[in-house]
Structure 1
Amino acid sequence: MKKIINDPSTVVVEAMRGLAAAHGDLLRVHEDPAYVARVDAPRRGKVAVVSGGGSGHEPLHGGFVGLGMLDAACPGAVFTSPTPDQVQAAVAAVHGGAGVLLLVKNYTGDVLNFETAAELIGAEGIDVRTVVIDDDVAVKDSTYTAGRRGVGGTVLLEKIVGAAAERGDDLAACEALARRVVAGVRSLGVALTACTVPHLGEPTFTLAEDEMEIGIGIHGEPGRARAPLEPADGIVRRLVAGVVEDLPFAEGDRVLLFTNSMGGTPLVELYLAHGIAERLLAERGVRVERRLVGPYVTSLEMQGMSVTLLRLDDELTELWDAPVRTPALRWGA
């Protein structure tokens, strides 16, 4: 195992310190219990939007803390859910009196721990709501989750709901918007290589040089099928077809296309794949009106990619375009 680390047991806390050093104008870090919060939180009268999950998927979630997105994020150990006390502490740090919306990826540990935290927070008299995202079309069930997993669509959910909270929408409106996004977003990924979790010291799975895994999860979980490696045209065609046919997306639909690197895929390959996806969607009459390309939901150093589509309307487009200023996403602010 070759990694730029000191000790597997201190990877997360040292990374958090580095995040704070690099972006102290946007966020602050609390180490025990661990959370990342907006530097200007709490904001009185604003709905607090809080998320989190296992580390190893950076910039998700801590890299999306800031104006127009998350008020706080809770990082667990690598590929491990944050604990209820982390979520409680994060909410206490950012709650501004207008309620709290928890955005949770559909993994068993995340759901259970955020649910426990929500009960404890509610017992303190804080109005707290939870929305679970399950955009991965690869599987109906896996060993990591009950139902579909939350993957690339999480970024789009956090951006759009964060923009609504920033403009002053109340808690009920933010919750309804979040459920609307979840209903209209779908993702599918592929892995060409595995990743190595620092405290394990070995790859999470094995693939032959001429194999790829379609529908891989962001923790290295198995997906739909293991298949012979194909050129980019074939890989992207599989991903686009899986996503489009699931909702399904139809001719004339307006969409946001998010082409995501799993961490080890260079941008030259990712842009190549994005261009193919745009062409395939155009052939189906699906109109790509907004785009995001880059490593935003990663799986350590896994070589692979995912395709996410969100069905747009005028309001969702406006909220996507709204100003954002976080370590990982910045425009209009």
Structure 2
Amino acid sequence: MKKLINNPNVVVEEMIEGYVKAFPQYIKQLEENKRSLVIAKETKPNKVGILIGGGSGHEPAFMGYVGTGMADGVAVGNIFASPPPDPIIEATRVIDKGEGVLYIYGNYAGDLMNFGMAAEIADLEHGTRIESVIVNDDVASAPKEEKQKRRGIAGEFFITKVAGAAADKGYTLDEVVRVAAKANNQTRSMGVGLSPCSLPQTGEPSFELGENEMEIGLGHHGEPGVEKGEIQEADKVVDRLVNDILEDMPLEKGEKVAVLVNGLGSTTKMELLIMFRRVEQLLSEREITIHRSYVGDYSTSLEMGGASITLIKLDEELAELIDQPADCPMYAQL
């Protein structure tokens, strides 16, 4: 599996270097820790800090969401691996304006351990109040009664958007935590995998699928899904994903949602738009309003083939926060 890289052991360092040089008006790298990136612009006084992070390979997540109205800092891990506590602590120190910092990250063992350690150290050494919202939107990864075990996937985009907007509007830390937790509770995602990715260090496929196979519920790191089978037409795939989401999070006639159709790395915009077309049809049939839509690569898995669908159920407060303008390199307010 071909890649345009140099030394496979320094791909993350070279990616960060390229990103910082490409977008210096948005982001800067901290000298104290090269895996810590923070917003380049001066943020508002007395603003709650928003810190995100996770493994590399999911670009534009997570670096791409640092900017005005979104996150203030990011800690960057190795490919598909949590950042260690050090870059998390360093980014926390820089973005803290005295009002506390909210950590947003996915529900993975490494992230739970390292962000948890960082929060304890930041409190002990700097007296920084840290709160966390752990994203768990993947309906395929655990049953509804065990939602706390679910993985965080593309829905983290919506949680970051809501929290970043709330912090930008001057909400207190408790208020930012409240709306971010509400957004997390009202967000569901489901994905489909068509082809594997390969790690730069190995060049080997991360999992196996037959030439005419797909996998429903495949995780963003290649974690097993709920069902393998022959590849189907786009409409049938979307029907399965949306129906599973709506079974888990029923929506009533007249309710409104924001929709994300997210590519996993090698899926074309044409395919994603075909998928969105069917999502819109299904929701329209149920008289559910799409308040805002996002179609594109928002949380990828290197060059994995496939896509995920995310719905966030909106009330007036969440709709207002989703609509709040944001400005960062990899995010377009459509």
The TM-score bracket by the shorter chain reads over 0.9
- Give, in whole Å, the separation in 2 of the partners of 1:43 and 1:9: 38
Match of 1:23? 23
CA shift in 2, pair 1:53/1:269, >3 Å? same
Q: Structure 2-normalised TM-score?
A: 0.95
- Cα displacement (A) at 1:206: 0.7
Match of 1:62? 63
Does the alignment pair 1:198 with 2:200?
yes
Match of 1:275? 277
- Cα displacement (A) at 1:188: 0.2
Unaligned runs of 5+ in 2: none
- Give, in whole Å, the separation in 1 of the partners of 2:263 and 2:67: 22
Does the alignment pair 1:93 with 2:72?
no
Q: Give per-residue Cα distances to partners, 1:108-140, cap 9 Å, x unaligned.
A: 111111001011111121111011010000021
Does the alignment pair 1:208 with 2:210?
yes
SS in 2 for 1:25: coil
Q: Give per-residue Cα distances to partners, 1:184-213, cap 9 Å, x unaligned.
A: 000000010010011222011010011101
- Cα displacement (A) at 1:284: 2.2
Size of the aligned set, in residue pairs, is: 329
Q: In the alignment, is the contact (CA less than 8 A) between 1:59 and 1:297 conserved in 2?
A: yes
Q: Structure 1-normalised TM-score?
A: 0.96
Q: In the alignment, is the contact (CA less than 8 A) between 1:85 and 1:117 conserved in 2?
A: yes
Match of 2:167 among 160, 165, 173: 165
Match of 2:113? 112
Q: What code does the residue aligned with 1:8 have?
A: P
SS in 2 for 1:118: helix
Summarize the alignment of residues 97-176 of structure 1 with structure 2, pairs less than 5 Å apart: 97-123=98-124, 124-140=126-142, 147-176=149-178
SS in 2 for 1:110: helix
Q: What code does the residue aligned with 1:93 have?
A: V
RMSD between aligned residues: 1.5
Match of 1:249? 251
- Give, in whole Å, the separation in 2 of the partners of 1:220 and 1:330: 27
Q: In the alignment, is the contact (CA less than 8 A) between 2:258 and 2:312 conserved in 1?
A: yes
Does the alignment pair 1:7 with 2:7?
yes
CA shift in 2, pair 1:331/1:137, >3 Å? closer
- Cα displacement (A) at 1:70: 0.3
Q: In the alignment, is the contact (CA less than 8 A) between 2:188 and 2:310 conserved in 1?
A: yes
- Cα displacement (A) at 1:9: 1.1
Q: In the alignment, is the contact (CA less than 8 A) between 1:12 and 1:55 conserved in 2?
A: yes
Q: Give per-residue Cα distances to partners, 1:153-196, cap 9 Å, x unaligned.
A: 10011011101101111100000111100110000000100100
Unaligned runs of 5+ in 1: none
SS in 1 for 2:257: strand
Match of 1:318 among 310, 320, 325: 320
SS in 2 for 1:192: strand
- Cα displacement (A) at 1:233: 1.0
Q: What code does the residue aligned with 2:178 have?
A: A
- Give, in whole Å, the separation in 2 of the partners of 1:54 and 1:307: 21
SS in 1 for 2:248: coil
- Give, in whole Å, the separation in 1 of the partners of 2:251 and 2:110: 31
- Cα displacement (A) at 1:250: 2.6
- Give, in whole Å, the separation in 2 of the partners of 1:265 and 1:250: 31
- Cα displacement (A) at 1:152: 1.1
Summarize the alignment of residues 173-184 of structure 1 with structure 2, pairs less than 5 Å apart: 173-184=175-186
Match of 2:77? 76
- Give, in whole Å, the separation in 2 of the partners of 1:43 and 1:322: 16
- Cα displacement (A) at 1:52: 0.2
CA shift in 2, pair 1:258/1:28, >3 Å? same
- Cα displacement (A) at 1:42: 5.8
- Cα displacement (A) at 1:43: 4.4
- Give, in whole Å, the separation in 1 of the partners of 2:195 and 2:274: 19
The range that moved more, 31-40 or 236-245, is 31-40
Percent of residue pairs identical: 40
SS in 2 for 1:248: coil
The range that moved more, 119-128 or 50-59, is 119-128
- Cα displacement (A) at 1:146: 7.5
SS in 2 for 1:63: helix
Q: In the alignment, is the contact (CA less than 8 A) between 1:8 and 1:199 conserved in 2?
A: yes
SS in 1 for 2:105: strand
- Cα displacement (A) at 1:225: 0.8
Q: In the alignment, is the contact (CA less than 8 A) between 2:136 and 2:148 conserved in 1?
A: no
SS in 2 for 1:75: strand
